[in-house]
């Protein structure tokens, strides 16, 4: 494995870590200023993928490199769309749930906070928050994997 290939895989791993960061800190996306900041960063990472494909620095099949580098942007937009849709459909603000293990076999349920924003939800809507947390976590992953599979089928 050469140095350029190692840098390529480091960028792909950084994109995956950025996805996890966005999914776990969705409370920060409720602030428009932070959402726009995350949007700019994710778009710049995606542009890096375009540069990588255009100069031939791609160790994946077809345009899968673009899906990996644009996946933070896709995740960000999908999370924001889930937030907006859930608020419009249910007329309630959604909050992510964080399960904290206290003892073996039992856990404590708390609402997850972002880095910059405190969670102001109430646990009386726990069932709704569980559905919301599931959708905001699973939908971006499903969309990214679907794009990877489709691109592999069409371009490889």
Q: Tell me the per-residue pLDDT of 120-155, one tens digit each, with 9 for 90 and over.
A: 767 777 788 888 888 888 999 899 889 888 988 888
According to DSSP H, which parts of 25-107 are helical? 32-54, 64-90
Domain ranges of the chain: 3-155
Whole-number Cα distances in Å, 33 to 6, 21, 79, 122: 34, 17, 16, 25
This prediction has a pTM of: 0.81
Tell me the per-residue pLDDT of 11-47, one tens digit each, with 9 for 90 and over: 899 998 998 888 888 888 888 898 999 999 999 999 9
Question: Whole-angstrom Cα distance, residue 110 to residue 96?
Answer: 9
């Amino acid at each position: 494995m050469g140095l350029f290939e190692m840098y390529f895989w480091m960028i792909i791993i950084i994109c995956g870590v950025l996805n996890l960061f966005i999914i776990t800190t969705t409370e920060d996306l409720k602030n428009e200023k932070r959402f726009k900041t995350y949007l700019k960063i994710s778009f710049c990472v995606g542009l890096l993928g375009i540069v990588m494909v255009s100069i031939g620095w791609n160790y994946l099949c077809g345009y899968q490199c673009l899906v990996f580098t644009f996946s933070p942007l896709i995740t960000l937009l999908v999370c924001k769309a889930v937030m907006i849709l859930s608020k419009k459909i249910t007329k309630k603000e959604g909050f992510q749930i964080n399960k904290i293990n206290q003892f073996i076999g039992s856990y404590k349920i708390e609402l997850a906070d972002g880095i910059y924003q405190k969670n102001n939800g109430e646990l009386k809507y726990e069932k709704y928050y569980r559905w919301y947390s599931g959708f905001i976590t699973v939908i971006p992953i499903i969309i990214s994997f679907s794009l990877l599979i489709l691109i592999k089928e069409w371009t490889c």
